Chains A and B, each alone.
Chain A
Amino acid sequence: ETGVTQTPRHLVMGMTNKKSLKCEQHLGHNAMYWYKQSAKKPLELMFVYSLEERVENNSVPSRFSPECPNSSHLFLHLHTLQPEDSALYLCASSQDFNSYGYTFGSGTRLTVV
């Protein structure tokens, strides 16, 4: 039990589909993150939320839409994705923004066909 749970573990979707990734943390942390992990590339920070407010958006295409309804839940809504969006999407949380002590979930392996 890592304290950060991601669902689903695997997702296959067509380019015209709409789907959502879910992340839930049970650690009482105030900051949550979405990272994208592609083969042979460093982990890319996508979004950061601190106390349910977005504080970072690293020029991510609008086909990725995050939502943080409360400090325990984080979603990543996906629509009209491209095959190059296939990757492992990792959620992480930390006590506070800038505290760096990340706890990661196991990730969602996304395949876009």
Chain B
Amino acid sequence: AQSVTQPDIHITVSEGASLELRCNYSYGATPYLFWYVQSPGQGLQLLLKYFSGDTLVQGIKGFEAEFKRSQSSFNLRKPSVHWSDAAEYFCAVGGSQGNLIFGKGTKLSVKP
């Protein structure tokens, strides 16, 4: 069965520091992979997606993610975090039935 694991429930980084959020997926074929961000009281906003091609994907707000098939991973990175990046981040894989399967999310806190 398809699944997504986000090992870190909560991460705290200092403003200006680099960030990496981990995501591992389980899927038999070539996956469609996504990262979404959710601010408090809001819906989910798409940061970036991977369908095929270049394994390093650029997204909005300065985020990027790298697809590594050998590790079944799709980690999200940002070189310098801003206080406004504090939110919850969700990794997702496109399921075989046309739906998105989400991880449990990683909450990011940013220290001044």
A interface residues, Cβ below 8 angstroms from B? 2, 4, 6, 31, 33, 40-43, 45, 48, 55-56, 90, 92, 97-98, 100-107, 109
Contact = CB atoms under 8 A, between A and B. Distances in A.
A2 B42 CA distance: 11
Among A97, A100, A109, the most chain B Cβ lie within 10 Å of the Cβ of A100
Interface residues on B, range: 20 to 34
Contacts, number: 55
20 contacts: A2-B45, A6-B43, A41-B104, A42-B4, A42-B103, A42-B104, A43-B100, A56-B99, A90-B43, A92-B44, A97-B98, A100-B94, A100-B98, A101-B46, A102-B100, A104-B44, A106-B41, A106-B43, A107-B41, A107-B42
Q: What DSSP secondary structure best describes chain B's contact surface?
A: strand
7 tightest Cβ-Cβ pairs between the two chains A and B: A104-B43, A98-B98, A43-B102, A104-B44, A106-B43, A100-B94, A97-B98
